[in-house]
Amino acid sequence: MAHAPIPATETALLLCDLQNDFIHPDGAYGRAGQSAPAIAALPARLKPLADALRAKGGWIASTHFTLVPGKGGEPFIAEHLRQMRPFLKKGDFAPGSWGHALLDDLAPSDLAVEKIGYDAFWNTRLEWVLRKAGIRRLLVAGIVTNGGVASTVRGAHVREFEVTLLEDGCAAFSDAVHAAAVEGLRPVADVTTVAGALAALG
């Protein structure tokens, strides 16, 4: 027997790491020349869906990759990340900073959660706030498809949220890597486009 569709009021657009430090030209990655056209295109593509979901009483949730400051404000940076991204420095992805925030085009977020690893459910309050808000369905977007997005989609799946991956609402630094990650997520998530999700909202 088919289940009744989950209403917009119990649906969240989960924006993974669409932060100034990752995407804005003045952010940490932009200053280091670390960008990709597919990533830069995401905010404008996702804005109509975010606006439509808000209008229907749905939720905007955002995850915020965080470099937790220690003594003197020096951030704790995992060794693998330090090797991959040696340009990261004090002040980047710092809680409460401009770089840490959701991009203006997509703000405000109803539920914002700091994260320190790929999976936004790991060592965070994400599941708790989603349950408190009565959210049962997640439309997942953001960066990068093969990293935070993939890990978070799998985390949502094992927690029995209904998960839809927005195929053109996420991106990676390589189109081939993005496509492979999407294929790998089909067993644990529905896959649609931003336009498809908009049409489903009516």
Burial (Cβ within 10 Å: 0-12, 13-18, ≥19) of residue 140: buried
- Residue 4's pLDDT is what? 79
| Ranges in the chain, pLDDT < 50 | 1
For the whole model, what pTM was predicted? 0.96
- Residue 3's pLDDT is what? 66
- Residue 1's pLDDT is what? 45
Cβ atoms of 116 and 66 within 8 Å: the answer is: yes
Residue found under tokens 């109509």: 48
**Dihedral angle at the C-alpha atoms of 169, 121, 88, 94, nearest 10 degrees?**
100
According to DSSP, residue 120 is labeled T
Q: Cα 90 from chain centroid?
A: 23
pLDDT in tens, 125-152: 999 999 999 999 999 999 999 999 999 9
